[in-house]
Structure 1
Amino acid sequence: MSRSPSYVRRGVGVVIAFGPVVLLVASLVSALTRGNEHHTSGLAVLLFALLIGALNFHLSFVRGLLYRRATGSLDGYRHVSGLPMVGTLLVVIGTLLGFGSAVCAAIGLLAIGIDTGGLVWFLIATWKDSSLWDRPA
């Protein structure tokens, strides 16, 4: 049985996945129009989110390449899950704490970009999965 595309479900997915990005852009715009503020607590949380994003990126892309380089193949390679959604949650918290700081917004955008366990990467990875997004015809 084929499934018909559900643009409403996918639209809701896009809105949810890019919600933190919109929040970060709003923070950056606020910093550029009102003047840059310094928020140490937001910066600390966002740096931790960046660390989580780097870990997830490493586990998704770098670790397998290093294993293949060391052994010559991926035979026996065991995939390890990172920390899904933790980086996105920390980015939202850090952005709320550091709203109006250009540094916080930039670090948050970088963290969202590299965090393969986050909402944006989930959306990208599952976009063509009709069993998740589409309803039966």
Structure 2
Amino acid sequence: MIIRNLAIVAFLASPIALSLGSLYSALANPGLVKSAVVAWVLVALALVIVGLNLYVAFVRPALYARRHGGSLQGYARVSGLPVVASIFVTLAVMLAWGQIWITCASLLVLFSDTGGVVCLLAVLSRDASFWRDHA
């Protein structure tokens, strides 16, 4: 069970580890500059997805409650695009390894995405039933 939990945490933390490794590489080798056009496109798409996920998670329910007298009764919850932004920034970091601005943008995306791996790890860390052995 411990191995399963460690594997899950490692999988969820891998985009963060890649971004931090790229940041270290950028700081250690400042002369290494790669063309990052495709990476910027992926980061821009990831930011659009983060905006959608934030809208779905916070703005949409608030607008519904405002229109219905503060009540969420009858509100249909919808899912944004979970994990897609994390995949995009992971690819961007791998394409533009050592590019400091790509790395900073990817960390911003990873930590602000409500449908990403960081949010999933935070939610799972509070759910004791997920970590228990159900055998």
Q: Normalising to structure 1: TM-score of the pair?
A: 0.85
Which of 69, 80, 83 in structure 1 is aligned with 2:81? 83
Q: Alignment partner for residue 97 of structure 2, among 76, 96, 99? A: 99
Q: How many residues are aligned here? A: 132
Q: In 1, distance between residues paired with 2:80 and 2:39?
A: 23
Q: Shift in Å at residue 132 of structure 1?
A: 3.1
> Partner of 2:40 in structure 1?
43
**What's the CA shift for 1:17?**
1.0
Q: CA RMSD for the aligned pairs?
A: 1.8
Q: Which residue of 1 aligns with 2:17?
A: 22
What are the superposed Cα offsets for residues 91-124 of structure 1, whole Å, 9 maximum, x if unpaired?
1111111111111011101111121111221122
Query: For residues 46 and 88 of structure 1, what CA distance do their matches in structure 2 show?
Result: 10
TM-score (normalised: structure 2): 0.86
Residue ranges of structure 2 left out of the alignment (5+ in a row): none
Q: Which residue of 1 aligns with 2:106?
A: 108
Give the unaligned 5+ runs of structure 1: 1-5
Aligned equivalents of 2:37 and 2:47: distance in 1? 15
Q: Deviations over 1:115-137 (max 9, x none)?
A: 11112211221224344332136
Give the match for residue 33 of structure 1. 28
Match of 2:55 among 55, 58, 71: 58
- Taking the aligned partners of 2:59 and 2:111, their CA distance within structure 1 comes to 16
Instruction: Select the structure with the greater relative contact order (CA < 8 A; seq sep ≥ 6).
Output: 1
